[in-house]
Amino acid sequence: MSIAETKPERADGWNRPPVTAPDGDGELLEVSMGPHHPSTHGVFRMDVTLDGERVVRLKPGFGYLHRNHEKIAEGAAYLASMPYTDRLDYFCSLTNNWAYALAVEKLAGQEVPERAQYIRVLLAELTRIQNHASSIGFLAQEMGASGTPLMYAFREREKILDLFESLTGSRMMCNYMRFGGCRVDVSSDWLDATSKVVAALPEFADEFEALLTSNEILMARCQGVGVLKPDLAVNAGVSGPMLRASGVNYDIRKVDHYGIYDRFKFRVPLGDHGDIYDRYMVRVLEMRESIAIVAQAVRDIPAGPIMDAKAKIRGFRPKPGEAYGRIEGPKGELGFYLISDGGPNPYRYRVRPPSLINLTVLEDMCLGHNVADAVLILGSVDIVLGEVDR
Amino acid sequence: MLGEGILKGMLETARNFFGSYVSKERLTTVEYPEKRIPAFANARVFPFLVYDGSDSLGGMRCVACQICEKECPPKCIYIEKSKDKKPDYVGKPQFYPARFDIDISVCMSCQICVEVCPFEAIKMDTEFELATDDRFGGLLYDREQLAKSNEYYHSIHPAEANEVDARLAEEKAKVEARAKAAAQAAAAKTAPGSSETPGGGS
């Protein structure tokens, strides 16, 4: 008799964790996975209660990487928080920059010039490609494919990071976007290099898929494991590839039309089952769509200024008010909520991190699966602890 | 057929393995430190202070305005203003930093000090091999260690340095022209009658 059968199932798909040991079925074993566990992507702890191999309860513990980002930002100038946003989700510093810049631009009523908008889209989509590639690589690593897919992913990521470095000066801590534009202009050489890298990427995606998509081991480990039902995903506020893998058509690029996304032609891949395999597939397909967006952006980018003429770097004091800027980050909805009291510092600064909120359904996905599957399910959520703990 | 997907993957791996002998695309690593990847023109590591001429402290562009100290997000810069003044590149008397420390164990290479500096005095270095066995003193750079010549700046960021030089030269020319005009006006004032406009007073 399994525990999943004895407990009442709620209509909204929310499974309550069992609190009592099953009678006569052996004893429960509590295992603490992490915080120094290689599968936890940083310092993350899972208190797993096991009935044999099966997970009957899972309590996530985080906060080990808490750096007081939000409170520090309330005591610092608006611009001074920009480099700190790089360190939230350190895989995707450019999308973090964009989300923060978007919130401040809304607050201050700044306009972003056309060319800067194109640069932002270009960089955000490159970020998405490298994030998805490496997150799939890590997922395969956790499946026991020690190294190969991850190294292939990192080889391609390296090319994109080279582009980032030659433009922004840093591979990961880009600190590139500014309120009302971007810091340095892209040269035509850089655009040529980008289109060369992007032209080679579909081949990489094919190679990656040949390596993984029809692999029987991957299919056996992933299909039907860690299923997230769409209604639970929506109720829990899950976003990004995880939500779309559950079949919910919600992409902020399509919903909000922030930036200039309505000018680009791209599709939103959706999953059917909401299992790990669908999450993998959605990421691969999103990579392909992002490649198409980058190609369009490189083709269409206009000449012009890259900074709002009224923007100033020092003495920036937006008028009192509040703003919420959100973008479709590679991991989901990344939002910054700011309240200004007219001073040089934000009165309130709040980050809505996709990784943290996607993690809240971890237990629901893990219940009834094996411990080894819990590791995979965590990997398929695609978390970065810098963002979860902030 | 069961195992077909695995075989397909193996084939891909083999293609990459043997391909790495012939294609540079597939072999992306270099053997550091024997071989190095050249730094990008925009690369940034830690800040340094630019000086003109050969005197590293006398020619320093920094005027100790302390803007970078104030704007630095992790507050890793410490500046003490001098009591006396020295002439800057346009000849205007300015303060100079009696002390200028950057704790590079705190610095996060964000480049905000460079962006806010109105005097083109602080720039980003590309030197990254800075390991030391002294955790505190060895990572606290004073103004002597931070001072680097404009020629060095040209060697690491040529395009940016040329732009900066052009801007400074333009500014200097403007200041000189203004001084010249002021001198001429002063000379004209002392000469009787010449300041009157034709047609008399209005």
Q: State the amino acid at position A180 in one-letter form.
A: G
Beta bridge partners of B71: none
Confidence band (pLDDT; 50, 70, 90) for B197? very low
Query: Residue A127 pLDDT more than 90?
Result: yes
> What are the structural domain ranges in chain B?
47-165
Confidence of residue A282 (pLDDT cuts 50, 70, 90): very high
Long-range contacts of A258-261 (CB under 8 A, 24+ apart): A258/A102, A258/A325, A258/A326, A258/A327, A259/A98, A259/A102, A259/A112, A259/A117, A259/A120, A259/A121, A259/A327, A260/A114, A260/A117, A260/A118, A260/A121, A261/A121
- How sure is the predictor about A8, in pLDDT bands with cuts at 50, 70 and 90? very low
Lowest mean pLDDT among A25-34, A100-109, A243-252, A297-306: A25-34
In this complex, do B71 and A77 lie within 8 Å of one another by their Cβ atoms? yes
Contacts of A214 in chain B (CB under 8 A): 4-5, 8
Instruction: Give the N- to C-terminal CA distance of chain A in Å, as an integer.
Output: 42
**Higher pLDDT among residues A380 and B82, named by residue:** A380
Tally the residues of chain B. 202
Chain A interface residues facing chain B, Cβ-Cβ under 8 Å?
Answer: 76-77, 79-84, 148, 152, 155, 158, 162, 165-170, 173, 175, 183-184, 200, 207, 210-219, 313-314
Q: Name the H helices within A223-353.
A: 230-235, 241-245, 252-255, 276-300
Q: Sort out which chain B residues have CB atoms less than 8 A from A83's CB and list them.
A: 73, 108, 110, 112
B12 part of contact set with chain A, CB < 8 Å? yes
- The amino acid present at B187, given as its one-letter code, is A
CATH fold, domain B47-165, is Alpha-Beta Plaits (3.30.70)
Q: Exposed, middle or buried: residue B28 (CB in 10 Å: 0-12, 13-18, 19+)? A: middle
Q: What is the ipTM of this complex?
A: 0.78
Average pLDDT, chain B: 82
Question: What per-residue confidence (pLDDT) applies to A33?
Answer: 84
pLDDT of res. B201 = 41
Question: B111 and A175 in contact by Cβ < 8 A?
Answer: yes
Residue A218: pLDDT above 90? no
What pLDDT is stored for residue A131 in this prediction?
92
Residues β-bridged to residue A60 = A46
Q: Average pLDDT of chain A?
A: 85
Instruction: Provide the percentage of residues in chain B whose pLDDT is more than 70.
Output: 93
Residue B108 and residue A173: Cβ atoms within 8 Å? yes
A311-361 per-position pLDDT tens digit: 777 778 888 989 999 999 899 899 999 999 888 889 999 999 998 898 888
Residue A368 in tokens: 């009834």
Could you check whether the bond before residue A330 is cis, i.e. omega within 30 degrees of 0?
no
The residues, any chain, with a CB within 8 Å of residue B99's CB and separated by 6 or more, are: B78, B79, B80, B142, B143
Quote the pLDDT of residue B192.
58
Indicate the Cα dihedral angle B173, B178, B180, B182, nearest 10°.
Answer: -170
pLDDT at A1: 39
Task: State the DSSP string of A94-161.
Answer: HHHHHHHHHHHHHHHT----HHHHHHHHHHHHHHHHHHHHHHHHHHHHHTT--SHHHHHHHHHHHHHH
Q: Which two tokens stand for residue A139?
A: 């997922």
pLDDT at A254 over 90: no
Which of A203, A216, A218 has the most B C-beta neighbours within 10 Å, making it the best mutation to test the interface with B?
Answer: A216
Q: Can you state the percent helix, strand and coil of chain A, rounding each to 5?
A: 50, 15, 40
pLDDT at B18 over 60: yes
Strand partners, A50: A29, A55
Structural domains of chain A in order of their starting residue, each with its CATH number? 2-61 (no CATH), 69-389 (1.10.645.10)
Angstrom distances, CA of residue A277 to CA of A245, A281, A310: 9, 6, 48
Q: Which is it for strands B86-87 and A321-329: parallel, antiparallel or unpaired? A: unpaired
A259 to chain B nearest CA, in Å?
A: 25
Residues 6+ apart with CB under 8 A from A264: A121, A293, A296, A297
Q: Please, which pLDDT band fits residue B117 given cuts at 50, 70 and 90?
A: confident
Q: How confident is the model at residue A2, as a pLDDT?
A: 44
Placement of tokens 């346009």 in the chain: B90
**A268, containing H or E segment:** none
Residue A196: partners with Cβ closer than 8 Å, 6 or more residues away? none
More confident residue, B2 or B115: B115
Residue A109: pLDDT band (50, 70, 90) is confident
Residue with tokens 């939002």, as numbered in its chain: A335
pLDDT at residue A15 is higher than 70 = no
- Span A67-94, pLDDT tens digits: 889 999 898 888 888 899 988 888 889 9
Q: How far apart are the C-alpha atoms of A325 and A321, rounded to whole Å?
A: 13
What one-letter code names the amino acid at A87? Answer: R
Question: Is A215 in contact with B12 (Cβ distance < 8 A)?
Answer: no
Instruction: State the pLDDT at residue A125.
Output: 92
Distance, in Å, from the CA atom of A307 to the CA atom of A305, rounded to the nearest integer, reads 6
Region at A326 (left for phi over 0; alpha for psi -120 to 50; beta for the rest): beta
CA distance A381 to A332: 10
Contacts of A216 in chain B (CB under 8 A): 2-6
* Contact list, A215 vs chain B (CB under 8 Å): 5-6, 8-9
Nearest CA in chain A to B67: A314
Comparing A214-223, B76-85, B193-202, the range with the smallest average pLDDT is B193-202
Rounded to an integer, what distance in angstroms lies between the CA atom of residue A66 and that of residue A388?
8
Q: What is the percentage of chain A residues whose pLDDT exceeds 90?
A: 20
Candidate ranges A1-5, A29-33, A69-73; pick with highest mean pLDDT: A69-73
Distance CA A72, CA A174 (A): 20
What is the mean pLDDT of the segment spanning B78-83? Answer: 85
Closest residue in A to B43 (Cα) is A169
Q: What is the pTM of this model?
A: 0.84
Which chain B residues are closer than 8 Å to A201 by Cβ? Answer: none
Report CB contact under 8 Å: B41, A210: no
| Residue A123 contacts residue A365 (beta carbons within 8 Å) | no
Strand, helix or coil for residue A236: coil
Give the bridge partners for A349, in sequence order: A338
Closest approach of B128 to chain A, Cα-based (Å): 12
Residues of B in contact with A213 (CB under 8 A): 5
pLDDT band at A16 (very low <50, low <70, confident <90, very high): low
> Which element (helix H / strand E) includes A59?
strand A54-61
Dist. CA A280–CA A38, nearest whole Å: 20
In chain A, residues with a C-beta closer than 8 Å to the C-beta of B159 are none
Mean pLDDT of the A192-204 span? 89
- C-alpha–C-alpha distance, residues B117 and B63, integer Å: 10
**What residue of B is the nearest CA neighbor of A73?**
B73
Q: How far is CA A78 from CA A84, A89, A177, B72, in A?
A: 11, 19, 13, 12
Predicted confidence at residue B91, as pLDDT, reads 72
Percent of chain A with pLDDT over 70: 93
* Maximum mean pLDDT: which of A154-168, B26-40, B88-102, B173-187: A154-168
Of the pLDDT bands very low, low, confident and very high (cuts 50, 70, 90), residue A291 is very high
